[in-house]
């Protein structure tokens, strides 16, 4: 069965360190997204991609970057982790064209920045 996997599922890091969260999907979807979920804020869009070599900033992109070198993967990098980036991160994918379409989510990566 097609799926979307995230790794690591849990990570603790220190302020200032670089962190990369991996996202791999086997749906062959063109669209991939990164969200963060925080109590009181709900889901907020960080970055997204509509295809290989395409990346776009979302609502809360400061301090994050992504790259899309193939269809399956969209890694999220925190260049210099800050305590405000402690959160649960979700990767999602879809095959929508004119609109986002049905979203499929990974299990999430819980990041703690000390």
Partner 1 sequence: KQEVTQIPAALSVPEGENLVLNCSFTDSAIYNLQWFRQDPGKGLTSLLLIQSSQREQTSGRLNASLDKSSGRSTLYIAASQPGDSATYLCAVDSGGGADGLTFGKGTHLIIQP
Question: Which residues are near partner 1 by CB under 8 A?
Answer: 31, 33, 42-43, 45, 48, 50, 56, 58-59, 90, 92, 98-108
| Cα angle for residues 56, 58, 62 (degrees, 5° grid) | 100
Torsion of CA 13, 59, 76, 110, to 10 degrees: 40
Of 56 and 84, the one with the shorter C-beta distance to partner 1 is 56
Distance in Å, CB of 92 to partner 1, minimum: 8
- Beta carbon nearer to partner 1, 20 or 37: 37
């Amino acid at each position: 069965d097609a799926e979307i996997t995230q790794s690591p599922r849990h990570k603790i890091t220190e302020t200032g360190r670089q962190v990369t969260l991996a996202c791999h999907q086997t749906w062959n979807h063109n669209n991939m997204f990164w969200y963060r979920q925080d109590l009181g804020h709900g889901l907020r869009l960080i970055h997204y991609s509509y295809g290989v070599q395409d990346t776009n900033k979302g609502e809360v992109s400061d301090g994050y970057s992504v790259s899309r070198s193939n269809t399956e993967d969209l890694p999220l990098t925190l260049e210099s982790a800050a305590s405000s980036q402690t959160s649960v991160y979700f990767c999602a994918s879809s095959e929508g064209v004119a609109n986002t379409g049905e979203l499929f989510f990974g299990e999430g990566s819980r990041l703690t920045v000390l």
